[in-house]
Amino acid sequence: MNRRVLAIGAHAADFVWRAGGALALAAEGGGKADVIALSYGERGESGELWKEEGQTVENVKQIRHAEAEAAADALGADFRCLDLGDYPLEVDRDALGRLVDAIRELAPNVILTHTDRDPFNPDHPVAHHAVDRARALAAGAGVASAFETISPPQLLLFEPHQPELCNFTPGLFLDITSVFERKVAAMAEMKSQQYLQTYYAQRAEQRGNHARRVSGDQEVRQAEAFMR
């Protein structure tokens, strides 16, 4: 895992639930772990914060940034946000260019992002298509070009909240047993979405069971699932 791993999410907390273990493994193994959030999820992902009287969008963004930075730090990752807005997330030409530049700069070996379908969250497919296109542009789209390019990163899709409804078929189970406590600590930092912490801890246990069955390794306790 001494690789450069980049998780790109539609919202500030997406990386924590879906790829926190992968990022922690990369960092612990001597690699580089980075996170790009396309938005803070200030409108649709911050329900707890909006219960406070007099709350504002800018204050929510500041809180979400602090939470995401703390979560990334718990995993050994670096966090940045493009602040494109959410619900709806829209990635125009300029935003796509910023994403391409960031991918070129970080030059990851592996990119982790959303599936291309999510009937409950319209921002996630938008993020998928933007990342898929930005990855191709950063790698030169397979042709000689006048700008700097990188080797095409491997693209893996992390597990959505409702996998059966998002065309998600896991093709890789990653053993995160050794870093699971770091993922738990990172999830605890996302206080604006506390309701997801138990769900994704349970999901890691379930995927750990699947990983034991397909690998025969009885030492696996927790895992994350990815789609190639």
pLDDT score recorded for residue 46: 86
Say yes or no to pLDDT of 1 above 60.
no
Say yes or no to pLDDT of 122 above 90.
yes
Contact assessment for residue 6 and residue 110, using Cβ atoms and an 8 Å cutoff: yes
Q: Taking residues 139-162, report their average pLDDT.
A: 86
Confidence of residue 145 (pLDDT cuts 50, 70, 90): low
Q: Taking residues 66-85, report their average pLDDT.
A: 98
Q: Taking residues 121-140, report their average pLDDT.
A: 96
pLDDT score recorded for residue 143: 63
Say yes or no to pLDDT of 185 above 90.
yes
Tell me the pLDDT tens digit for each residue of 28-42. Answer: 999 999 999 999 999
DSSP the chain: --SEEEEEESSTTHHHHHHHHHHHHHHHTT-EEEEEES---TTTS-TTGGGSTT--HHHHHHHHHHHHHHHHHHHT-EEEE----SSS----HHHHHHHHHHHHHH--SEEEE--S--TT-THHHHHHHHHHHHHHHHTGGGS--SS---PPPEEEEEPPSSGGGTT----EEEE-GGGHHHHHHHHHH-GGGTHHHHHHHHHHHHHHHHHHHHH--TT---EEEEE-
Confidence of residue 147 (pLDDT cuts 50, 70, 90): confident
Confidence of residue 48 (pLDDT cuts 50, 70, 90): confident
Tell me the pLDDT tens digit for each residue of 187-206. Answer: 999 988 888 899 999 999 99
- Which of the two residues, 86 and 1, has the higher pLDDT score? 86
pLDDT score recorded for residue 148: 82
